[in-house]
Chain A
Amino acid sequence: MSDIETGQFSIDDLENVQITIGKIVGAIEKKAQEEGVEIGPTPKPGISGLRDWDYKLLSRYQPVYTPVCDQCCYCTFGKCDLSGNKEGACGINMEAHQARETLLRVITGAAAHAGHGRHILHHLIDLYGHDKPIDVGPSNLLAPNTQAVTGIRPETLGDLEEVMDYVEEQLTQLLATIHAGQEGAAIDFESKILHGGMLDHVGMEVSDLAQVSCLGMPKSDPEAPLVEIGMGCIDSSKPVLVVIGHNVAGVTNIMDYIHEHDLEDKMELAGLCCTAIDMTRYQTDQGQLPRAKVIGTLAKELKMIRSGVPDVIVVDEQCVRADVLDEAKKLSIPVITTNEKIMYGLPNRSEDKPEDIIEDLSTFKEPGALILDFDVLGEVAPELTLKMSKIRDEIGIKALPTDEELQELSEKCVQCGACELDCPDNLPIMEAMRAGVDNDFSKFEYLHDKCIACGRCDQACPKDIPVLNMIEKASQKLIREEKGFMRSGRGQISDPEIREEGVNLVLGTTPGIIAMVGCSNYPDGTKDLYSVADEMLKRNYIVVMSGCSAMDLGMYKNEDGETLYEKYPSKFLAGNLINVGSCVSNSHITGTAIKVAAIFAQRNVSGNYEEIADYITNRIGAVGVAWGAYSQKAASIASGCNRLGIPVVVGPHGSKYRRALIGKPYKEEDWKVYDARNGSEMPIPASPEFLLTTAESIEELLPMLAKNCIRPSDNSMGRMIKLTHYMELSQKYLGHMPEDWYKFVRTETDLPLAKREELLKMLEKDHGWEIDWKRKKILSGPTMKADVSAQPTNVKRLCKGEC
């Protein structure tokens, strides 16, 4: 192997020649050797690198396909009718095509994160250089996903480039397999889905590590500040600049300009979607106050624009409505696009002088501008906002209907039902219209929280009734009260925190981690998130939030007027509520699980993905909930969790992802693992019962969460705690004792003390177990033994004597 290092050098005799060494074959291994790190069997795995592991997961958790469309129209042989699992002209059947469709979603999501990662990394390297150290808090394991997958232990921004190279190359390979005439087996598309999900977490991690290191964001800080959130917290009497999207790169220039020009009190800067979260993280790591407010999620975009309150809108990338420019134009709001992913057909003004751009936009010569130069953007956006505020005041913008018009519009309704059929949640709009005729608008108010502001009703109505505007107008009082607090994103969980809490998670005495992630496509309003988090926090679960869920959680208050972020502490401990940050911070959730394996259990992490995933699968009671998942990114995040054996529940809309991974608890042979001490087989409880599934309502979800935190490694105390929550939540929300509770009992000490006698009686009477009543001991019945020193593993090679 060469001893040449990466970097640039010149050769004396060759004048003006500079040679750049990029990658060196075997460099990961060499560096690891120098540092005394052992590299596992799969650094930078290719598509087939972890296929055996995937097959293990997929034999227990079978893909369940629920096509959104029975046809395939991928190529001109088609379109082909695949219904009934028929084959299309190219020979692919319905199952494989559905898996292919799912793969396309997953790698689209992964590409969105990776594209974001590459963009912000490039931008930050430009500003801070390749050698800028990664600094994310008091940890040695800085990049758990990256290290487990690639074997690279990144220390500087420059090191992250090689990680992105790997992710991008793999995503290209995966995309290639979607072409007609490539992969034909559903199971191998499934393995590719898991591969894509894993890559996604690496791409996300790179994005967040880079921005946390360079942009002064909280570094594993449990005391990250509280941030104002909600449409009601915007002071519309001031000029309002609204930013929408996910990539904070250019927005920081706007924030600097506002700060440097003392404009903070003179205008409002607020964000929608994850850019908002990252704006509130910017430059707060030294205890500074957040410099922006959060309006909310994608579900607030149209409502916010149509309120007419923004004076200027800046968009970057991801989860931005496609009609922002059209909607804004109607209300004389200039739009600035700042990222090549969204340009809306606007002229590129990146090279122009700020004053010329401001002049053209404020005189409505152009409805907006594309500005890719962030210094120009930094000046134009705030200055234009100040100017537009006056201009728009003078014009007198009328956004929403008046009270009188509300009644007249209600009268126009012919009760045809088209809006309700088109509404994604079939909301009762007709009823609201009927009441509106009599000047009762309370039914519109009822719709407000449940409505995701998609605008489909408006499109459907044959009478051109602006249904969404009516909902918004009728809910003005509610909207004014929409003010809460969100804890700003704290970044990853640090190594010392893992050292403290890891043991409780593995033994089950902290009953589990509930990670509430994803977007705002809820089946029944945003408040459900609050109810779920509060219930699980009261029960001592660690609740971890991120992205849009983190925002929506902050919108509700309890009887004492407190949000959950104010009510619960925010350390990585049982009963604490954590916000890791924006969408890309989701990588810290999987990162936490990897850290438990690496730090608490001392497993080698570098390039050792299978062993780490196996450890997590059998020992860490974590369940992801993406209750309002809508995006392709949510699909890739879930798939990345799944490859690590972390189950995810999505809300009912998630059924439209077309495929779930569900196990069969009644098939006993599926619920066995090896005991690594001697390679013998041992039965395990059917939990998690799924890797990806849906729930119908939060009442169904809550007991599901408790049950699916049960793991083979629970000690008796842990199992008792988890079982207690499962039984109590079933009784509270489903009104019954769950039928399968006894299957999780290994010994009498797994039973809650207060109910032990009663439950022993049930075991004897209903399930025929033998009980020694004198000693209150179970003599026979359980299929599993409680043995804390057992070493459950799905991987034969990890058993003693196997390698």
Chain B
Amino acid sequence: MVDTTKNTQIYATWGRKTAKPVNPKVAGKMISKAKRPLMVVGSEILKDDKLVEKTVAIAKKGVPVAATGHSITALVEKDIGAKYINVHSLGHYLGDKNWSGLDGKGPYDTIIFIGHKKYYLNQVLAGIKNFTDLKTIAIERHYMQNATLSFGNLKPEVHLEALDEIIENL
């Protein structure tokens, strides 16, 4: 079991509410429990085939995928129904109760993030944190202080291990 809750050093931005550090097991359980989860996958996954592999494995457990940036290039043929959307637009639409989602089935309740640039996702999450009631879980290599729950800052190999644990717990 890896401990993904240790290094939660934040770096420049500040607020009273920061992400609760989470371990993979708990994160996995929460994703399983979600009624309408959405996994938002960024282009950083393309930097490591193993990340793509693990992302696809999570999706195959029944988590719908929004592919941001150009992550879709690695997901389009994986039979997981991934749909491209810009992450900034997605952040905007998620706050709209009238948005019917990428699949037309209505609003989401739990948003999972993987494969994003730290500084960029933290901004998108700042919008979601301050203006919506959504639960957000960052299973990233870096601590995302504006998520509801986040892994701490991890070495790449520990991150991969943690993702395996999530998959086991889904």
Interface residues of A (CB under 8 A from B): 62, 64-71, 81-85, 94-95, 417, 421-422, 424-426, 523, 652-653, 655-656, 658, 660, 662, 664, 666-667, 689-690, 693-697, 699-700, 704, 733-736, 738-739
The digit string for B103-114, where 1 denotes a CB below 8 A from any CB of A, is 000000000000
Q: Give chain B residues whose Cβ lies under 8 Å from the Cβ of A65.
A: 127, 130-131
**B9, B43, B70, B153, most chain A CB atoms within 10 A:** B70
A330 to chain B, nearest CB (A): 26
The digit string for B15-28, where 1 denotes a CB below 8 A from any CB of A, is 11100000000000
**Contact at A696–B42, with CB atoms within 8 Å?**
yes
Q: Give chain A residues whose Cβ lies under 8 Å from the Cβ of B119.
A: 424, 426, 652-653, 655-656
User: A734 vs B129: C-alpha distance in the bound complex, in angstroms?
Assistant: 29
User: A739 vs B92: C-alpha distance in the bound complex, in angstroms?
Assistant: 19
User: How many residues in B have their beta carbons less than 8 Å from beta carbons of A?
Assistant: 43
**Contact at B16–A693, with CB atoms within 8 Å?**
no
Q: Give chain B residues whose Cβ lies under 8 Å from the Cβ of A85.
A: 130-131
Which of A67, A69, A82, A694 is the one whose CB lies under 8 Å from B120? A694
A80 to chain B, nearest CB (A): 10
Sample of 5 more A-B contacts, CB < 8 Å, known A426-B142, A689-B89:
A70-B130, A426-B118, A523-B117, A652-B117, A655-B120
Q: A426-B142, A664-B96, A696-B117 are in contact. Are A734 and B72 (CB under 8 A)?
A: yes
When C-beta atoms are compared, the residue in chain B nearest to A735 turns out to be: B73
Q: Give chain B residues whose Cβ lies under 8 Å from the Cβ of A62.
A: 92
Within 8 A of A (CB), among B1-47: 9, 11-17, 42-43
Question: Is B76 an interface residue, CB under 8 A from the partner?
Answer: yes
**Contact at A81–B16, with CB atoms within 8 Å?**
yes
B20 to chain A, nearest CB (A): 15
Question: Is B148 an interface residue, CB under 8 A from the partner?
Answer: no
Which of A64, A81, A699, A734 is the one whose CB lies under 8 Å from B127? A64
**Contact at B89–A693, with CB atoms within 8 Å?**
yes
When C-beta atoms are compared, the residue in chain B nearest to A652 turns out to be: B120
Q: Give chain A residues whose Cβ lies under 8 Å from the Cβ of B142.
A: 426
**Contact at A700–B127, with CB atoms within 8 Å?**
no
User: A652 vs B86: C-alpha distance in the bound complex, in angstroms?
Assistant: 11
B65 to chain A, nearest CB (A): 13
**Contact at B73–A421, with CB atoms within 8 Å?**
no
**Contact at A66–B91, with CB atoms within 8 Å?**
yes
**Contact at A68–B126, with CB atoms within 8 Å?**
yes
Q: A666-B99, A700-B70, A734-B72 are in contact. Are A655 and B88 (CB under 8 A)?
A: yes
Q: Give chain B residues whose Cβ lies under 8 Å from the Cβ of A70.
A: 14-17, 126, 130
Q: Give chain A residues whose Cβ lies under 8 Å from the Cβ of B91.
A: 64, 66
**Contact at A699–B69, with CB atoms within 8 Å?**
yes
**Contact at B15–A71, with CB atoms within 8 Å?**
yes
User: A678 vs B88: C-alpha distance in the bound complex, in angstroms?
Assistant: 37
A-B contact pairs, 16 of them (CB 8 A): A64-B91, A66-B124, A67-B127, A426-B118, A653-B119, A653-B120, A655-B88, A666-B100, A667-B98, A694-B88, A696-B43, A696-B69, A696-B116, A697-B70, A704-B86, A736-B76
Question: Is B87 an interface residue, CB under 8 A from the partner?
Answer: yes
Q: Give chain B residues whose Cβ lies under 8 Å from the Cβ of A689.
A: 89
**Contact at B15–A83, with CB atoms within 8 Å?**
yes
User: A699 vs B67: C-alpha distance in the bound complex, in angstroms?
Assistant: 13
User: A661 vs B14: C-alpha distance in the bound complex, in angstroms?
Assistant: 24
Q: Give chain A residues whose Cβ lies under 8 Å from the Cβ of B87.
A: 694, 696
User: A85 vs B96: C-alpha distance in the bound complex, in angstroms?
Assistant: 15
Question: Is B150 an interface residue, CB under 8 A from the partner?
Answer: no
B8 to chain A, nearest CB (A): 11
When C-beta atoms are compared, the residue in chain B nearest to A665 turns out to be: B89
User: A532 vs B131: C-alpha distance in the bound complex, in angstroms?
Assistant: 34
A259 to chain B, nearest CB (A): 46
Question: Is B123 an interface residue, CB under 8 A from the partner?
Answer: yes
When C-beta atoms are compared, the residue in chain A nearest to B102 turns out to be: A739
**Contact at B86–A695, with CB atoms within 8 Å?**
yes
User: A738 vs B43: C-alpha distance in the bound complex, in angstroms?
Assistant: 17
Nearest 3 A/B pairs, CB to CB:
A70-B15, A696-B69, A699-B70
When C-beta atoms are compared, the residue in chain B nearest to A690 turns out to be: B89
User: A666 vs B116: C-alpha distance in the bound complex, in angstroms?
Assistant: 25
Which of B9, B72, B96, B123 is the one whose CB lies under 8 Å from A66? B123
